[in-house]
Structure 1
Amino acid sequence: MRKMTARQKQILILLLGRKNGMTAAEIAAEINVSVRTVHRELDEIEKILANFGLLLHRKSGTGISVWSNAAGSEEGKKLQEARRLLLVDKPSDYSGEERQLLLICRLLEEQEPCKLFTLANGLKVTVATISSDLDEVEPWARRFGLELVRRRGYGVELIGDEQGKRAALCQLAADHLDYSDLIGGSPVSQVSSATAKLLEVVGTHNLMTVENTLWAMNWNWTEHLSENAYTQLLIHLSVSVNRIHVGRFVGAVQGKPISTGAGGERDEGETSRFALRLADQLTLTFPPEEIAYMNGLFNRAKEASPELVQADLELVDTVYRLTENVVKRTGIPFQEDRLLRSGLLEHMGPAFKRIREGSRIRNPLLSAIRKDYEELFGIVREAMNDSAAGLEVPDEEIGFLVMHFGASIERLNQLGRNVRAILVCSSGLSSSKLLATRLAKEMPQIEVLGNVSWYEAKRLPESDYDLIISTIDLPLPEDRYVRLSPLLTEEDSEQLLAYVQHTTLRSRKPAPEPESAKTRAFDKVRSLSMALNEVVSLLDQFDVRVLNNRGDSLRGTVTAALEEMNQSFVPPSVSDVAAVTDRLLEREKMASQVIPGTSLALFHTRTRFVNYRSLALFRLEEPVLLDGGTKVGALLFMLAPRELSRESLEVLSEISALLLKPELVELLETGERPEIRNFLATELLVYFENL
């Protein structure tokens, strides 16, 4: 039989994992080669498959798939056998990244030192190659407080406390696994050995049991987590369960108790109740130290709920400049698209963090994006170069940004539709917006009701929708959803149309009664009323004061401002001034709060120590030095309680976006309260009219 190369194996893994096949462009984007290279490799793959009685079916414009010449159950058996024989990894096929991933997993599993020779022999490479890989692994491990010990005659060992090892495993999952790997239930035969090993050590086989147990607790705070925060919490819990299964427990480090996060003791009873339920499901026992650790995970997740401002002001400024630069090059009024602005902020924050940390950015759609949006790709690349000086943004990230701008271009007015669809897309990407606008353009008979998280999709009442469209595998039966590319290729359109005709329309529920439409209309009116009331209430209590802070530090200045704000509310707006001061200063250390090009700083937070949402401007008698070395002469405070209505959060977020307008900045620096309030009222009225 012909020898198969690593690239050919990659292509086969992709094709055997997609029931409906893939286009050459999609394959090229996934393995980062040209479409021409894919076609050349397919010629060889076709000959290899012939040895197994399999056919490579190629249909121009729609896709490529692997077929069997057998019928019925024999066809399935042939395909399964082919997967087993064709997709067995050989160590020589591993890339450097895969070797390092396997090395880290091995070292985190082992309790004793491993000999270099043993590691090299297992991966069929030289000792020198393993040593080079360990050089790459060492600084990465230090991020989690782990030390890579390498001594002649002793071997190699990764030492550190159990909490650090679990954090390292969770980071590996975040860097190398996507939602389909975690919750899609893909067979091991359809992923590489390195990915399969990571899934094993992370404990994803227990993830859905953990998720169902967590959901069954009916805690309000879990419903308010973002999809990414919810999934990361599940990964941490699954890693913990897997480590406990093999006898790795957390414990006190150097006599210090396990960190439980804010309010740990208050909630430990609820955590114990969860642990008992989970222990019963998995036949485990959670000692007190593990319950305390679990309680810390819950408290950190609670504290990670969305802030009032989606990102630090430097990032907001970058988004503003990027949008303006694309507008100049295209003439399209992108600045009027609030969905574009919020989408860019949501995506670019974590993406830029990964770029600065040197983490890998993976974009399987890059080749297809370049093909479909060739001119726009070049424009966004040039605009980003002008907008983010000093930051080297890779093409993979530019591709994601192009998806945002492409979705904005194609965003059309909603037409009359007769099939109700829910979208499920990867968090933090523009996939849902792009797919929604493509659907509006290509298949106007489908009404997109909105996008939901993967765990919401599995629990939505079937009467609430006719169709679930997902860009990832879901933990649902195959007849409950259809998986498509965010680019909605011709093949996808055909697949979707067939699904709607043969599955959706046949099992469709009766159309909602007119009263349901009236209810939705009333809900919309009520939401508009709440938003308008929020604007009036917030601006009515907006205050401008001069603060005597002479001789005070930054902490003293912030504390004094909060105490003055308390005088305006009965009861006080801040229940714990010291705690709120700590949160504000901690956030200021993490990211710049200075409004670019000004002597103003925005201090904002959302916490249980704030009783009322409030907006107040303090002009300082003496400039104060921030953590980054910048002096500011005025502080704008935007505070809100942890529990906050959607309308209130949207109004506060809109105000934060207005801070980049030169007219508002000038008023904040020199204007009087009525002038500032009237400007905000004018801008918020425009926002309200466009809701």
Structure 2
Amino acid sequence: MYLSAREKHIIDYLLANEEGLTIKEIADKLNVSSRTIHRDIQGVEPTLHQFELRLEKQTGVGLKLIGSVDKRNELRDMVNEIKRDEYTPEERQQLLLSILLQKREPVKLFTLAKEIGVTIATISNDLNKVSDWLEAFQLEMVRKRSYGIEIQGDEPNKRRALRRLITEKVSEEELLSLLEVHRAKSELKDQTSEKLLHLIDVKIILDVLATLHELRERGESIADVSFIGLAVHLSLAVDRINRGERIEGHLNKIEKITQTKEYQVAKKLVLLLEEKFSIEIPPIEIVYVTMHLLGAKQGDEGGLLLQETSLDLAIRTKHLIDEVGEATGVTLRGDQSLLEGLVSHLKPALFRMEQGMTIYNALLPKIKKDYKELFLLLQKKVPEIFPKWEFPEEEIGFLVMHFGSSIEGAKHKRGLKAIVVCSSGIGTSKLLATRLEKEIPEIRELTHMSAFDMSQDKVLEQTIVISTVPLPSIESYFLVNPFLSKKEVDRIRHSIHTKNWVKADNSERKAEIVGQHDEVKEWLKEDALTKLESIQQISNLINSILTQFELKAWSHLLNTNAFIQQLAQYQEEKHLVENSERVAEALIEREQLGGLAIPGTRLALFHTRSDDVKVATFTVHELPEPMQMRGMDNEEYEVSRILLMLAPEIWNKQGLELMSFISASIIESDESIQRFETGDEQAIFTLLERNLKEYLITKLQK
């Protein structure tokens, strides 16, 4: 049976979308006109008839495949077994790239034409287009008569090109399905195997995914947003090393990279991979793995501004928030979630740009279409506020998702719980969550969960699961697009009301709760007590911070290190730390990692977390005379006051969030900065007390 590449794709889409697809949706997926799809459908229908299936046209839905489950499965098996007789031009070019990037010697034009099954003229035309694509990766296609065709360039650039090929050919959802397959120990689907066939051995990816999962189970932190990208990076590294391809040369700032905690995680990971694949991995590969971890690092541990994130970045981010808010007419200042989300994304994004690393944003076309004005606005504003960096469209797209989430976010009264599962990082997850809140106000509580950690026992009663990735291990869930179409909203809402989970009004909701059995009442009680306990913890922390706060004026000044030791010794005398020498060492080490002076101010923020800190504190220290200090932007500044923030190494989430809030409030406005620069103890205490009271009120209202 002959099916063209497009006809095969059309059948795949119809089988995968039981709710139906419009002609336009199919056309957009295949990047052709609706007229072309209408013509191709005529070629598909005879195949469907052979399996006793038919296409039904429904108003508002589009084309829907009608027939028994058994016949649909037979068709799916047949389509996957058919030898592809035709490639689309895009598929041919991807196949050419995958062949040439993995060859260590030139390939003859005739050989390529024969392998792909087209004429030499067609291959020659494809190679012209492929050559342009390679330029973005600093690779050159060499074509010489009697020599052949060869891609020349550095090994890291070849790997970058291969990674892009994989992410273009195989979606994150499909790679996540590989992980699910591995966990369920079921057979690998032919379709995914076929797509990866010319790029990398599927078993390598499965083994790498298993190794990453093992490392996470041992307690090592690997952010969800980096999990899939890291799996692809490592799989390519293992495959290339097996082929004898090694990275040569040196990177800039290697010494600084080896001092990060991500480097230690990378070392453990590489050791596990050496055991798993029985290979020797060069030390330079550890550095590249570290760069990947740093380039995808997310501030999901809480206390963002207590980590290595500089306040210079937070200042710029606040400026960007104000500019976007003014341009859109939406008040965004004060949205702590937006600030933390942007800083969380921008820190690794700036690192990626400095290192020449690229990121793939599969949602970019949709973002540019649905958020056109916001995208153009950020394209204009971002370079003004971050002039040292050149932001590609992919990074702008991720920022759009954060702002879109905040702008669309609307608080509604809710009556259900929902678990949101995403694979594309915090921006996508937040965007989906806010659209759910807006479109389905019945949802009263949203939880974000990793696809890797999701299991059936996490789904409590009256909880719906909404995911952008397949979850074979979950009995019932909604598979949706991150942008949540009207059709998907209607499907979720219909399901909720069919189950009679949500009553029409508040009086009925009260009657429902009163009528619940004791076990559910106990659950509601425990839930409420847990929230009250959290609020009590925050209240106690605020009281402790305000109690220990002081503005201390110092009468004499030595060099920076000696002064830091004096600060630590003073904290020990007040019984707030146990070992002042170790605390001083931690503060000095943090200062050496990067400047601590806040750009554009006369302030410096010294902070650390240490096992020797007994009580978390925030204090202000006035210098007898200004001191020159390196700023967070590596410029020199004159500092007259030092803000000292100390916290225990192992601390609860509430504490980290509170200290992060204090850090952000320092630069919240010109008035705040001026108060910390020149205000007396009472003036600063009053400002701090007001801010912390507002913080507690927001927690009470949640």
TM-score category of the 2 structures, normalised to the smaller one: 0.7 to 0.9
Is 2:47 aligned against 1:52?
A: yes
Match of 1:624 among 622, 629, 632: 629
Is 2:471 aligned against 1:474?
A: yes
Aligned-pair distance for 1:483? 0.6
Task: Report what 1:203 is aligned to.
Answer: 204
Deviations along 1:639-669, whole A, 9 cap, x unmatched? 5454221011111221222224211211233
Q: Which amino acid aligns with 1:184?
A: S
Give the distance between the partners of 1:601 and 1:301, measured in 2 at CA.
28
Normalising by structure 2, what TM-score?
A: 0.72
Deviations along 1:461-514, whole A, 9 cap, x unmatched? 34466321101223525x332211233222213433565578998xxx999621
Match of 1:492 among 470, 488, 502: 488
Aligned-pair distance for 1:690? 0.7
Aligned-pair distance for 1:47? 2.5
Assess, with a 3 A threshold, how the Cα gap between structure 1 residues 78 and 384 changes in structure 2: closer, same or farther. same
- Asked if 2 retains the 8 angstrom alpha-carbon contact of 1:532 and 1:688, the reply is yes
Identify the range of structure 1 (381-390 vs 433-442) with the bigger mean alpha-carbon deviation: 381-390
Aligned counterparts, 1:277-316, within 5 A = 306=301, 308-309=304-305, 311-316=309-314
- Asked if 1 retains the 8 angstrom alpha-carbon contact of 2:93 and 2:127, the reply is no
Task: Report what 1:62 is aligned to.
Answer: 61
Match of 2:331 among 324, 330, 333: 333
Aligned counterparts, 1:177-216, within 5 A = 179-185=172-178, 190=191, 197-198=198-199, 200=201, 203-207=204-208, 209-210=210-211, 213-214=214-215
Assess, with a 3 A threshold, how the Cα gap between structure 1 residues 367 and 176 changes in structure 2: closer, same or farther. same
- Asked if 2 retains the 8 angstrom alpha-carbon contact of 1:327 and 1:334, the reply is yes
Is 2:466 aligned against 1:483?
A: no
- Asked if 1 retains the 8 angstrom alpha-carbon contact of 2:568 and 2:583, the reply is no
- Structure 1 runs not aligned, ≥5 long: none
Assess, with a 3 A threshold, how the Cα gap between structure 1 residues 253 and 613 changes in structure 2: closer, same or farther. farther
Aligned-pair distance for 1:581? 3.4
Give the distance between the partners of 2:321 and 2:682, measured in 1 at CA.
31
Aligned length: 646
Is 2:685 aligned against 1:682?
A: no
Task: Report what 2:34 is aligned to.
Answer: 39
- Asked if 1 retains the 8 angstrom alpha-carbon contact of 2:10 and 2:26, the reply is yes
Aligned-pair distance for 1:166? 8.6
- Asked if 1 retains the 8 angstrom alpha-carbon contact of 2:586 and 2:608, the reply is no
Deviations along 1:544-569, whole A, 9 cap, x unmatched? 5559777x6xxxx3574255334412
- Asked if 1 retains the 8 angstrom alpha-carbon contact of 2:412 and 2:438, the reply is no
Task: Report what 1:517 is aligned to.
Answer: 524
Q: Percent identity?
A: 23
Deviations along 1:421-459, whole A, 9 cap, x unmatched? 211123434333333333334333444431111122136
SS at match of 2:676: helix
Is 2:571 aligned against 1:568?
A: yes
Q: Which amino acid aligns with 2:207?
A: N
Assess, with a 3 A threshold, how the Cα gap between structure 1 residues 44 and 629 changes in structure 2: closer, same or farther. same
Match of 1:422 among 413, 419, 423: 419
- Asked if 2 retains the 8 angstrom alpha-carbon contact of 1:30 and 1:365, the reply is no
Q: Which amino acid aligns with 2:578?
A: P
Task: Report what 1:535 is aligned to.
Answer: 542
Give the distance between the partners of 1:511 and 1:290, measured in 2 at CA.
61
Task: Report what 1:653 is aligned to.
Answer: 660
Aligned counterparts, 1:175-254, within 5 A = 179-185=172-178, 190=191, 197-198=198-199, 200=201, 203-207=204-208, 209-210=210-211, 213-214=214-215, 217=217, 219=218, 221-222=219-220, 225-229=222-226
Is 2:74 aligned against 1:77?
A: yes
SS at match of 1:333: coil
Aligned-pair distance for 1:132? 8.8
- Asked if 2 retains the 8 angstrom alpha-carbon contact of 1:534 and 1:648, the reply is yes
Give the distance between the partners of 1:116 and 1:574, measured in 2 at CA.
68
Give the distance between the partners of 1:132 and 1:396, measured in 2 at CA.
22
Task: Report what 2:319 is aligned to.
Answer: 321
Assess, with a 3 A threshold, how the Cα gap between structure 1 residues 330 and 472 changes in structure 2: closer, same or farther. same
- Asked if 1 retains the 8 angstrom alpha-carbon contact of 2:312 and 2:599, the reply is yes
- Asked if 2 retains the 8 angstrom alpha-carbon contact of 1:15 and 1:21, the reply is yes
Assess, with a 3 A threshold, how the Cα gap between structure 1 residues 670 and 179 changes in structure 2: closer, same or farther. same
Aligned-pair distance for 1:158? 8.2
Give the distance between the partners of 1:20 and 1:265, measured in 2 at CA.
47
Q: Which amino acid aligns with 2:211?
A: V
- Asked if 2 retains the 8 angstrom alpha-carbon contact of 1:472 and 1:483, the reply is yes
Higher relative contact order, chain-length normalized (CA < 8 Å, sep 6+): 1
Give the distance between the partners of 2:194 and 2:535, measured in 1 at CA.
53
Give the distance between the partners of 1:293 and 1:389, measured in 2 at CA.
32
Assess, with a 3 A threshold, how the Cα gap between structure 1 residues 347 and 449 changes in structure 2: closer, same or farther. same
SS at match of 1:469: strand
Is 2:457 aligned against 1:454?
A: no
Assess, with a 3 A threshold, how the Cα gap between structure 1 residues 675 and 424 changes in structure 2: closer, same or farther. same
Normalising by structure 1, what TM-score?
A: 0.73
Identify the range of structure 1 (639-648 vs 199-208) with the bigger mean alpha-carbon deviation: 199-208
